[in-house]
Structure 1
Amino acid sequence: MAAKMAATLDQLTGGGLVMFYDYGQQLREHRACHLAYPDDVHPRVAETVDGIRLIMNPWRADAAITASRGAYGVTDATCTPTPVRRPHPPIWFGETHPGTALDYRYAALGVTWLRACVSPEAAALLPLAGHSEPHLARTARRPAVPAPRAR
């Protein structure tokens, strides 16, 4: 459903969608949605990656797909309309928590990690800006960074 909603919005905006995907590092966000909040951040990161892969799969498929990732899955899933930009719109991960290894995983997906610095603690993460470059090089991918659009 998320893939279809995002693709529809991408169509309505003429390819203007930039999908911002966050793994939710705040306990209150999880409680509000009645979701488990493991103390260890790695299961949350893994669920995030599983979820984004399930969103990306129908965008790339030419026919209905059946797939599972971790605890999630789809059966005979299709996505119409498809996104304007192929294989998918730009996807940005938001994350300011050090040590999650999310940057390694986003590099494998070929998406962008947006380090939103909103506090002195988060600003201290700026030296990590080049941290994922070796992982991007290994996957031979460059993240999709959208250019500003004139309206």
Structure 2
Amino acid sequence: VATLDVLSGGRIILGVGAGWHRPEFEAYSEWLDDAARVDKTEEALRLMIELWTKPRVSFSGRYYRVRDAVLEPKPVQKPHPPLWFGTAGRRMLRLAAELGSGWIPINLSPEEYALARKSLAGRVRKGFVFANVCWPSASEAEMRKKVADFGRAGCDYYLEVLGDDYERQIGWMAGLARKV
């Protein structure tokens, strides 16, 4: 992340999450219960922040240990690249408020979004970004309604992604290609 921040001239935003898609997790790691995944994520973030901001780091946690570790190059962005949390869980929202620069959950309803955003009110730093990701809308009218609803819920940036339904993705892209 630090090297990418340097190579990009300070344009990296790190998306943070504790993991929710079990098949993906099992393909690369081991599946832990919710509490353990959040614990491991928090510990990793605290270690990364130390490595990004200090010349030499010793750290001993439950999941990670380093002794006199040096990370170079340091990130361009100070104190470190922005951390955008993709979560709606209570503990991860607490971490987003404490360590984050943005919040970008996926596929919440506007009502769920407004409720979670309210829980962050007064706890985030100045400039904190409120964004949202949803599965694709069925029509332009539906998308316009979602954008308006999420805007009223306090969302500054709205993004639609294709998800993992590949048949739907192909149909969506074909429809978009016809329009363009």
The alignment's TM-score, normalised by the length of structure 1, stands at 0.74
Quick one: distance in 1 between partners of 2:127 and 2:58?
A: 26
Match of 1:131 among 95, 119, 122: 119
Q: Per the alignment, do residues 49 and 67 of structure 1 end up closer, same or farther by CA in structure 2, a change over 3 Å counting?
A: same
- Of the structure 1 ranges 7-16 and 67-76, higher mean CA displacement relative to structure 2 is found in 67-76
Match of 2:98 among 108, 113, 121: 108
Q: Structure 1, residues 27-76: CA drift from partner, whole Å, max 9, x if none?
A: 112211231322xx222111111111111111110x21111232212222
Q: Which residue of 2 aligns with 1:149?
A: none
Q: Which amino acid aligns with 2:121?
A: E
Quick one: distance in 1 between partners of 2:24 and 2:128?
A: 28
Contact 1:112 1:144 in 2 (8 A): yes
Contact 1:65 1:77 in 2 (8 A): yes
Quick one: distance in 2 between partners of 1:142 and 1:92?
A: 14
Structure 1 gaps of 5+ residues are 1-5, 146-151
Structure number with higher relative contact order (C-alpha < 8 Å, ≥ 6 residues apart):
1
Q: Tell me whether 1:35 sits opposite 2:22 in the alignment.
A: no
Contact 2:84 2:101 in 1 (8 A): yes
Contact 2:84 2:100 in 1 (8 A): no
Q: Which amino acid aligns with 1:80?
A: E
SS at structure 2 position matched to 1:125: helix
Match of 2:38 among 31, 38, 45: 45
Quick one: distance in 2 between partners of 1:74 and 1:54?
A: 9
Q: Which residue of 2 aligns with 1:11?
A: 6
Q: How many corresponding residue pairs?
A: 127
Quick one: distance in 2 between partners of 1:27 and 1:71?
A: 20
Q: Per the alignment, do residues 73 and 13 of structure 1 end up closer, same or farther by CA in structure 2, a change over 3 Å counting?
A: same
- Of the structure 1 ranges 107-116 and 18-27, higher mean CA displacement relative to structure 2 is found in 107-116
Query: Which structure carries more helix by proportion?
Result: 2
**Aligned sequence identity (%):** 29
SS at structure 2 position matched to 1:135: coil
Q: Which amino acid aligns with 2:71?
A: C
Q: Tell me whether 1:22 sits opposite 2:10 in the alignment.
A: no
Quick one: distance in 2 between partners of 1:70 and 1:107?
A: 23
**Aligned-CA RMSD value:** 1.9
How far off its partner does 1:106 sit?
2.1
Larger Rg: 2
Structure 2 gaps of 5+ residues are 130-180
